Amino acid sequence: MHIDLNRSSNKSLPQQICETLSQRISSGLLHQGAQLPSVRGLAVSLKVSQVTVSKAYAELARRGVINCSQGKGCFVAETEHKQSQEGAGWQSKYDDYLPRAQLWRNFDYSEVKYPFHLAAIHSELLPLDYIGATMASLVTKQPELMATYGNFQGDFELREMMSGHLQSRGIALSSSDLMITSGAQQGIDLVARTFVGPGDTVYLEAPSYTGAIDVFAGRGAEMIFVPMDSEGMRVDLLTKMCDQRPPKLIYTCPTFQNPSGVTMSMTRRQRLLELARSYSCLLVEDDPFSDLYFHTPPPPSIKSMDLDGHVVYMKSFSKVLAPGCRIACVAAEGNILSRLIAAKSASDLGSPLLTQRAVLPFISKKYDTYVGQLRNALRGRMEKAAKLLKEYAPPGVNWVLPEGGLSLWLELPSALGVGRLHDLAERESISFLPGDVCYAGDTPSRHIRLCYSQMNEADMEQGLRLFLRLLSRFLA
Amino acid sequence: MHIDLNRSSNKSLPQQICETLSQRISSGLLHQGAQLPSVRGLAVSLKVSQVTVSKAYAELARRGVINCSQGKGCFVAETEHKQSQEGAGWQSKYDDYLPRAQLWRNFDYSEVKYPFHLAAIHSELLPLDYIGATMASLVTKQPELMATYGNFQGDFELREMMSGHLQSRGIALSSSDLMITSGAQQGIDLVARTFVGPGDTVYLEAPSYTGAIDVFAGRGAEMIFVPMDSEGMRVDLLTKMCDQRPPKLIYTCPTFQNPSGVTMSMTRRQRLLELARSYSCLLVEDDPFSDLYFHTPPPPSIKSMDLDGHVVYMKSFSKVLAPGCRIACVAAEGNILSRLIAAKSASDLGSPLLTQRAVLPFISKKYDTYVGQLRNALRGRMEKAAKLLKEYAPPGVNWVLPEGGLSLWLELPSALGVGRLHDLAERESISFLPGDVCYAGDTPSRHIRLCYSQMNEADMEQGLRLFLRLLSRFLA
């Protein structure tokens, strides 16, 4: 079993082993009942003492994650969670470099009637007719678009248009500074595989986006989570933390942050950029939601203040237009961008040209009007959800209403039993995102994320009412 | 600068440093005129002696790849090759984990009139009307397909159909054993990121597919190239090599191999599978071409003989149907597959649903008839190219006519000057794939690959005639 150990980390080696195994188990990468390597075997392969491995196993056993018995060895405990696929004998011993996969575990509940876990927008709110008509016209008039490998960097016409789109939002870049990716997820992945390696320090907000954490974990990064308050990431604390461990990369979602909903203040944005410059490191600004404000526009993007290419800016159009088209735009400069394009080539030889061209006319002609209507619709949803929360949420449950975006971040009285609540909800065909997957370690979280825009309005209201009743019974 | 060094490799440390830098330079990842790190600085960051770095730099200087001068340092030599993008000062010092990107460098010549470098099929031969009509109908009748994140594993209906398709080719797997990826390139990438890490031994054919080499290089693998003869990979030699260094993974393209065109014999296929079983390692079988035989069908796939999940089989439909749709199918079992699905989730949250559904009806209803016609058309192309070669190829140029697939693998009298030939060809708007990018090291190759199916017939003939005349002048 391959585990990236960082001997200069603040975390002890037993802690690191324990956390990685715990993440593998909760991600379903180690199936229930699977036998763990022997203490001796793991100690040899990780080049640590047997005492170190024993300590890690003892802690996992104490938490009930594994069961150990003298002479037989240690096994992953059986829980009510979904079973992952078992492999032939030799397969379980075949090492991988995949320490965690919480997206895989927590994203796909296509069977669930009330999918609150997914931060997405219901199809009736999306401009599918327009994009569909464009696509139908393209395949009829230019079928050769389906025959062409796209440019690795992304279609030139789409990038030209995106450049204008970003300029209207204060980001003065040309088409040559942009790259098209299959969603922002791929953008984050490309940055990580290109610039982050074992032991590199990556700072993120606490909590942060599960998909980014999965990716950085897969690169063996040392992830450090920076506390937030109502103005976003505590850049003052980050500054002190960087004194101890200089950053290789900082990942932030400054506007209507996923999952907390918090927006970073202008002052902090400036300070954060200054910090990245002073350390000559990259700052990844993930911005799926800035157009989705409910009352006043958020502060300008950090990228709009970037003068020397420290910010890699990710603008997803997937969520807002058509998730199935998987179109996002990455803005970066110089050889930071050219190296990302090189990585994109090895990753999938470029995104499909057709889907790129299919969203182009809509973004260039209709986007601003559309997004204004979408904002109103989403605010309506959020207000409905807020009303239900006020009415039905049991005492001890707290939340701050978001100023934009797609989700609510609920604080429960205790982290205890969130897993059990998740199972109970699933039985009533309700899903939510447990907060602990928004951290890299395995500290239990008392938060959960609920998305109010993924169902039609009636289902959302019905589902939320059901869930809040369940929550009341559960807490009682 | 990050360089993966393998201290148990057969290659010396100076050799490893020299090869990685050479690959970075020829990939365009280090731009012309860029300053290399100081000998002292690189020695410290790689934890090797200054003598080791000096040896590597001396060898690079001897080859003319870099220029060193006392007191000033070493700089990448200026050549006629394309210039890559330079970055701001701090960017050049920002470390990456991208040792090579030959796909990026050698794939995208959209400006070239005679693109012989790309192994693809001209749009007039592809069933774009049918697939386009399906797509137009889907976006009109089921626009919600554009709103849906696909299942990470791939659309269930497409996998059901693929399962039948593979069963008719002797691979008895169900839809749950299949995954849809954005082209075979992504399939290879997912296998590498999941199962290959620094120092792991990966065996490949000599020569092999550039895109696979890029990907394994990016994982820090120790790649070992196994000689081939007319029956494909020399499995007898591989067996001896494995005695020295047990394999973590073996990558093969056994049918009309890319780039050599050679097909592995049945006996070798069986032995290779036996070898993978005896080492409990994965065998990646990349199979884009088995339907494209000119005379007799090739031997059955290795996957069809696999009883316990040692083979990860990659079937690209991109090349044969619509490269722009980026659809390939990966067949694997047990937790080998489930871990690949987990990696796919972190990589891009799943492939677009629409393109998956768009190719489905064609594959299920029309594929066999179509591919029969395509075989005839490609054989016609190959025969035309063969006739021109016979007529115009200068003495000393050798080739074996392929039994299937899309390209010719030409042997020139000497490896000297292939780079110069490439530049000269580019001036006449002709591109080809230089053989050296089909190896991981930087041994010059006397081979070049020419694809005869990427242009319409008249352009192909015209371009090939022009190229062969150029070659005659060049060799004279």
A283-306 residue pLDDT tens? 999 999 999 999 999 999 999 999
Mean pLDDT check: name the lowest of A186-190, A351-355, B174-178, B250-254.
A351-355
Overall average pLDDT of the B113-131 stretch: 94
Separation of first and last alpha carbons in chain A: 43
For residue B58, how far is the Cα from the chain centroid?
31
Task: Name the CATH topology of A13-99.
Answer: Arc Repressor Mutant, subunit A (1.10.10)
Q: What residues of chain A lie within 8 A of the CB of B185, using their CB?
A: 346-349
Check if the beta carbon of residue A356 is closer than 8 Å to that of residue A158.
yes
Q: Which helix (H) or strand (E) holds B344?
A: helix B334-348
Are the Cβ atoms of A87 and B193 closer than 8 angstroms?
no
Q: Do A2 and B193 touch (CB under 8 A)?
A: no
Provide the number of CB pairs (under 8 Å) joining chain A to chain B. 316
Average pLDDT for residues B234-246, to the nearest whole number? 97
> What are the chain A neighbours of B140 within 8 Å (beta carbons)?
132-133, 136
B143–A128 CB contact, under 8 Å? yes
How much is the mean pLDDT over chain A?
93
Domain B107-125+370-475 CATH class label:
alpha beta
Task: Find the angle CA(B204)-CA(B207)-CA(B208) to the nearest 5 degrees.
Answer: 55
Q: Is it the case that residue B31 has pLDDT exceeding 70?
A: yes
**Mutation target among A95, A135, A451 for the B interface, most CBs of B within 10 A:** A135
Cβ neighbors of A425 (< 8 A, separation 6 or more) are A431, A432, A467, A470
CA distance B316 to B180: 10
B contacts of A128 (beta carbons < 8 Å): 139, 143-144, 146-147
pLDDT at A200: 96
The residue behind tokens 């049991």 is A394
What distance lies between CA B392 and its chain's CA centroid? Answer: 29
Give tens-digit pLDDT for B140-171.
999 988 888 778 999 999 999 999 999 999 99
pLDDT above 90 for A89: no
- B108, B135, B346 member nearest A139 (Cβ): B135
**CATH-assigned architecture of domain B13-93:** Orthogonal Bundle (1.10)
Residue A82 CB burial class (10 angstroms; 0-12, 13-18, ≥19): exposed
Output the pLDDT for position A87. Answer: 67
List of chain A residues whose C-beta atoms are within 8 Å of the C-beta of residue B338:
28, 84-85, 87
Per-residue model confidence as pLDDT tens digits over B1-29: 789 899 888 899 999 999 999 999 888 88
Residue B468: strand, helix, or coil: helix
Across residues B238-250, what is the average pLDDT? 97
Sequence-distant (6+) residues with CB within 8 A of A256 are A262, A263, A289, A290, A292, A293, A298, A402, A403, A404, A405
Three-state DSSP class for B74? strand
Task: Give the residue on A whose Cα is nearest the Cα of B2.
Answer: A197
Q: Answer yes or no: are the C-beta atoms of B198 and B219 closer than 8 Å.
A: yes
pLDDT at site B147: 85
- The confidence band for A84, taking pLDDT boundaries of 50, 70 and 90, is low
Nearest chain B Cα to A110, which residue? Answer: B151
Residue range B128-365, CATH number: 3.40.640.10
What integer pLDDT is reported at residue A415 of this predicted model?
83
pLDDT confidence bin for B80, thresholds 50/70/90: low
At B138, list the tokens.
């889907």
Amino acid at A372: G
Contact in structure between B180 and B329 (CB atoms under 8 Å)? yes
Cβ partners under 8 Å of residue B398, min gap 6: B410, B411
Q: Give yes or no for residue B83 having a pLDDT over 70.
A: no
Angle between helix axes A353-365 and A156-167 (nearest 10 degrees) is: 30
B408: tokens are 């010719």
| Interface test mutation site (partner B, options A30, A349, A357, A437, max chain B beta carbons within 10 A) | A349
Give pLDDT, residue B85. Answer: 58
ipTM of the complex: 0.94
Cβ contacts (< 8 Å) between B307 and chain A: which residues? none
Structural contact between residues B312 and B284, judged by C-beta atoms closer than 8 angstroms: yes
Beta-ladder partners of B203: B224, B250
Higher pLDDT residue, A255 or A318?
Answer: A255
pLDDT grade for A15, boundaries at 50, 70 and 90: very high
Q: Copy the structure tokens of residue A366.
A: 């209709």
Helices (H), B152-221: 156-167, 183-195, 210-218
Helices (H) and strands (E) in chain B, counts: 17, 16
Provide the token pair at B273.
């599978």
On chain B, the residues whose CB falls within 8 A of the CB of A104 are 152, 341-342, 345-346
- B96, pLDDT greater than 60: yes
At residue B87, does pLDDT exceed 60?
A: yes
Q: Identify the residue among B45, B108, B117, B454 best suited for mutation to test binding to A, counting A beta carbons within 10 A and taking the highest.
A: B108
pLDDT value at A344 more than 60: yes
Q: Residue ranges of the domains in chain A? A: 13-99, 107-125+373-475, 128-365
Distance CA(B226)–CA(B208), nearest Å, equals: 10
Q: Please check the confidence at residue A80 and state whether its pLDDT lies above 80.
A: no
pLDDT for residue B164: 97
Contacts of B368 (CB under 8 A, 6+ apart): none
**Lowest mean pLDDT segment, chosen from A14-18, A88-92, A449-453, B405-409:** A88-92
Nearest by CB to B97, which of A93, A132, A197? A197
Q: In this predicted structure, which of A136-150, A158-172, B168-182, B251-265 has the lowest mean pLDDT?
A: A136-150
- pLDDT value of position A70: 87
Give the strand pairing for B201-205 and B249-252. Answer: parallel
What digits encode the pLDDT tens for the residues A365-407?
999 999 999 999 999 999 999 999 999 999 999 999 999 999 9
Whether pLDDT at B82 is above 60: no
What is residue A455's predicted lDDT score, i.e. its pLDDT?
94
pLDDT at A79 over 80: no
Report DSSP state, residue A222: E
Could you give the CA distance from residue A301 to residue B53 in angstroms, rounded to a whole number?
Answer: 43
The 10s digit of each residue's pLDDT in A36-74 is 999 999 999 999 999 999 999 999 999 989 999 988 999
Question: How far, in Å, CA of B180 to CA of A191, rounded?
Answer: 24
> Please, what is the average pLDDT of chain B?
93
Q: Where are the alpha helices (DSSP H) in A279-417?
A: 318-321, 334-348, 353-365, 367-392
Least Cα separation, residue B396 to chain A (angstroms): 35
Nearest CA to CA, how far is A265 from chain B (Å)?
27
Torsion of CA B436, B440, B444, B450, to 10 degrees: -10
Judge whether residue A172 has pLDDT over 70. Answer: yes
pLDDT at B84 over 60: no
Which of A145, A183, A195 lies at the smallest CB-CB distance from B348?
A: A183
Q: Which of A216, A134, A421, A386 is nearest to B346 (CA)?
A: A216
pLDDT at A82 > cutoff 60: no
* CB within 8 Å: A93 and B309: no
Q: What is the DSSP string of B233-300?
A: E-HHHHHHHHHHS--SEEEE--SS-TTT-----HHHHHHHHHHHHHTT-EEEEE-SSTT-BSSSPPPP
Residue with tokens 């993924």: A454
- Please write the tens of the pLDDT for every residue from A109-160: 678 999 999 899 999 999 999 999 999 999 999 998 888 877 899 999 999 9
Residues 6+ apart with CB under 8 A from A200: A219, A220, A221, A222, A248, A249
Among partner residues A28, A151, A346, which is closest to B103 by beta-carbon distance? Answer: A346
CATH no., domain A107-125+373-475: 3.90.1150.10
pLDDT at position B81: 54
Q: Which residues of B339-369 are buried (b: 16+ CB within 10 A; e: fewer)?
A: bbbbbbbbbbbbbbbbbbbbbbbbbeeebee
B286-337: per-residue pLDDT in tens? 999 999 999 999 999 999 999 999 999 999 998 899 888 889 999 999 999 9
Cross-chain Cβ contact A348/B186 below 8 Å: yes
